[in-house]
Amino acid sequence: MRLLPALVAKRRFVVSILTSFVAAQAVAEDVAFVTNQNGHTLSIVNLADNSEQQSIAVPGAPAGVAVDPMGDYVVTVSADSKTIRKFDPVTGALQQSIQLDGGPIGVAVHPDGDRLYVSDWFNSRLWVLGAAGLNLQAEWPTGTAPAGVAVSADGRFVASADKEANQASIFDAHTGEALHRIGVGARPFGITFGPMGRIFTANVGSNSVSVIDPEAGALVATIPVGERPYAIAFANGRGFVTNQYADTVSVFDVDDLKVIATISVGEYPEGIDATTDETRVVVANWFSNTLSVIDTHKLTVVSEIAVGDGPRAFGTFIRNVGD
């Protein structure tokens, strides 16, 4: 039976729409890039089917990690070898590397993708690197032992968690001007910009999260959490904090800053990040060699994913790299 031309055209249109929809679905899933410090590898994990797709050798005990907001590259920091490496997120191919004279540990990428900010634990500074060639552009002084580093979503501010100074340093992301030094809880390690542009530090020495207004340069709240908090992620109107010694994640409401749940995860949770649709949060469990995946609505662990030895994933490690 032959179809009329109008029906043929209509069918082709429907098929085209369905094909486009399927293609869109195929590229809509996120990928996690997990540094495995003990195994000296980078796990590339497909969060659509919760499987490790690739394991890439990364010498020097990698811990710090950051993905370009556009998904064009992934950066790792190997503290033992003092090496910054840039990889293609699709193929896993090494694009560039550079050794820095100091103690690199944390890394963040500016929203425009053209600059990296790397913390120097030993020399109390941030390095500013050009993303294209990993060339050193500037050095900004921080407090003692900066660990985590973060950039605001609007690209205006860069902040570091200065662990041994018990403070956060806030800079103008473009000029490098030191805007504020804010006292926080004891020994801040992870640092994240959250909703409303506020800064949150995970204070491993005081079992708390400090909340900072970067515009005013003021501490606005302190949230008690679990034992030895390491890092913070945000999704679905909630903050999620990894507690290393408690093997848990504390969940707080971003409006009233009250803890609303505590979720058991793997052993010694450290790095944490949210999927781009904010429906899941992924936790790297250093001692368990797994990722715990949390449903951000139900606040339960919905899956566990095996990765390499000693996953740290210290930084922003989830991005959609398919579109």
29-319 CATH fold: Methylamine Dehydrogenase; Chain H (2.130.10)
> What local confidence, expressed as pLDDT, does residue 323 receive?
53
- Cα three-residue angle 251-262-32, rounded to 5 degrees: 60
Token representation of residue 323: 């579109």
Residue 6 has pLDDT above 70, yes or no: no
Residue 60 has pLDDT above 90, yes or no: yes
Write down the mean pLDDT value for the chain. 92
Span 186-200, mean pLDDT?
A: 97
- Residue with the bigger pLDDT between 105 and 22: it is 105
Residue 15 has pLDDT above 50, yes or no: no
Span 19-25, mean pLDDT?
A: 36
Residue 21 has pLDDT above 90, yes or no: no
* CA nearest neighbour of 315 among 193, 203, 136: 193
Span 282-311, mean pLDDT?
A: 98
Token representation of residue 117: 């900010």
> What local confidence, expressed as pLDDT, does residue 70 receive?
87
Q: Could you give the CA distance from residue 114 to residue 91 in angstroms, rounded to a whole number?
A: 21
Q: Could you give the CA distance from residue 228 to residue 312 in angstroms, rounded to a whole number?
A: 15
pLDDT in tens, 79-107: 999 999 999 999 999 999 999 999 999 99
> What local confidence, expressed as pLDDT, does residue 97 receive?
98
8 A C-beta contact, residue 312 and residue 32: no
pLDDT in tens, 220-240: 999 999 999 999 999 999 999
8 A C-beta contact, residue 159 and residue 147: no
Per residue, what are the HEC states of 139-176?
EEECCCCEEEEEECCCCCEEEEEEHHHCEEEEEECCCC
Q: Could you give the CA distance from residue 188 to residue 201 in angstroms, rounded to a whole number?
A: 6
- Residue with the bigger pLDDT between 10 and 54: it is 54
> What local confidence, expressed as pLDDT, does residue 191 receive?
98
Residue 4 has pLDDT above 60, yes or no: no
Span 44-65, mean pLDDT?
A: 97
Residue 9 has pLDDT above 50, yes or no: no
8 A C-beta contact, residue 105 and residue 142: no
Q: Could you give the CA distance from residue 122 to residue 274 in angstroms, rounded to a whole number?
A: 30
Question: What dihedral angle (degrees, nearest 10) is formed by the CA atoms of 271, 266, 268, 150?
Answer: 10
> What local confidence, expressed as pLDDT, does residue 23 receive?
34
Residue 322 has pLDDT above 70, yes or no: no
Query: Lowest-confidence range among 9-13, 216-220, 271-275, 283-287?
Result: 9-13
pLDDT category at 24 given cuts 50, 70, 90 is: very low
Q: Could you give the CA distance from residue 184 to residue 201 in angstroms, rounded to a whole number?
A: 8
